[in-house]
């Protein structure tokens, strides 16, 4: 197994240094590859040269028998694709045995789309007479205004927000930078929070973060998730609400309004437009309704 372990280490280092992937993403790849190596060891396969397409298919069947769902098996296959491509690139292998293996077919389950009225209810709930209420209102507004991931939201720094020009600079997955415009409502709420809320929450402590919790530290992802869920319950919304619900609603509302798919891709920070295309089912439904309503033979 030594050659496999060495190749794994080289591949993970390649993802870190050359591809610039985040630590969490690399940890995920490492866990998947470690599981694959255990499978090979159990089947008395000692080198990567002894693997072929039937071995890959047997591994996927083993994952299925162990109770992994289609999405999880698909993720494992994506991990193996990258690993074997790297092995061919490094001339460890001449041919890629994973190339002809297709991803499992599955329907992509998306979070519930919140209507604009439902989002407005949540945004209007925080008590803006208090510092925390000002912070919460600004956070929720920015999350929806820019379609951020929760990890991006909690880590936004003061230096990355430009209220005068109306944009936020975001560092997403793999430390990739993007600039996303924000509207007048978000700018107003952030300005109110900066003037009347943040200084009180900081209590003379210095912090580079825009949204602060205790001792000037950023809020945790779990903390914001609980906060958002509480406001959703108070608003009387029965849909499952997570931070990603607002990101999904952001993309859906833009597409329904006629936004270009590639523009939405850039704002979401998706490297591959096929990732963004999972949102277009909603836009298609919207177009179908418009066709039925306005076309003479709809």
Q: What is the mean pLDDT of the chain?
A: 85
Q: So which residues are the catalytic ones?
A: 149, 173, 244, 247, 270, 279
Asked if the 2-89 domain carries CATH number 1.10.357, the reply is no
The listed range with the strongest mean pLDDT (51-55, 170-174, 193-197) is: 193-197
Kindly report the number of other CB atoms within 10 A of residue 167's CB atom: 16
Contact 143, 153 (CB under 8 A): yes
Query: pLDDT-based confidence at 209, cuts 50/70/90?
Result: very high
Q: How far apart are CA 116 and CA 268, in angstroms?
A: 19
Do domains 2-89 and 116-290 share one topology? The answer is no
pTM summary value: 0.60
- Domain locations in the chain? 2-89, 116-290
pLDDT of res. 295 = 47
pLDDT of res. 261 = 72
pLDDT of res. 117 = 92
Residue 283 has pLDDT above 80, yes or no: no
pLDDT of res. 298 = 45
pLDDT of res. 281 = 54
Q: Give the mean pLDDT of 87-103.
A: 87
Q: What Å distances lie between residue 81 and 149, 182, 219, 265, CA to CA?
A: 26, 37, 36, 24
Contact 83, 90 (CB under 8 A): no
Residue 108 has pLDDT above 60, yes or no: no
Secondary-structure class of domain 116-290 per CATH: mainly alpha
């Amino acid at each position: 197994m030594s050659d496999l372990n060495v190749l794994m280490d080289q591949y993970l280092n390649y993802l870190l240094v050359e591809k610039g992937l985040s630590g969490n993403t690399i940890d995920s790849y490492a866990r998947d590859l470690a599981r694959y190596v255990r499978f090979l060891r159990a089947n008395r396969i000692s080198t990567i040269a002894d693997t072929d397409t039937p071995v890959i298919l047997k591994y996927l069947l083993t994952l299925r028998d162990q109770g992994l769902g289609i999405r999880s098996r698909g993720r494992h296959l994506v991990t193996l694709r990258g690993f074997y491509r790297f092995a061919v690139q490094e001339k460890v292998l001449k041919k890629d045995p994973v190339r002809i293996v297709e991803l499992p077919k599955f329907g992509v389950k998306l979070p519930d789309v919140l209507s604009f009225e439902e989002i407005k209810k949540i945004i209007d709930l925080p008590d803006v007479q208090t510092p925390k209420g000002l912070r919460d209102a600004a956070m929720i507004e920015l999350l929806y205004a820019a379609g951020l991931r929760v990890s991006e939201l909690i880590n936004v720094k003061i230096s990355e927000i430009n209220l005068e020009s109306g944009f936020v600079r975001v560092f997403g997955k793999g430390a990739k930078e993007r600039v996303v415009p924000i509207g007048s409502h978000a700018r107003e709420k952030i300005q109110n929070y900066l003037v009347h809320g943040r200084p009180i929450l900081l209590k003379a402590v210095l912090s580079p973060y825009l949204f602060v919790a205790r001792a000037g530290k950023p809020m945790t992802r779990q903390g914001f998730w609980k906060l958002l869920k509480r406001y959703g319950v108070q608003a009387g919304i029965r849909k499952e609400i997570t931070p990603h619900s607002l990101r999904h609603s952001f993309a859906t509302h833009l597409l329904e309004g006629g936004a270009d798919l590639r523009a939405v891709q850039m704002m979401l920070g998706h490297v591959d437009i096929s990732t963004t295309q999972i949102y277009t089912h909603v836009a298609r439904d919207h177009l179908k309704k418009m066709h039925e309503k306005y076309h003479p033979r709809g």
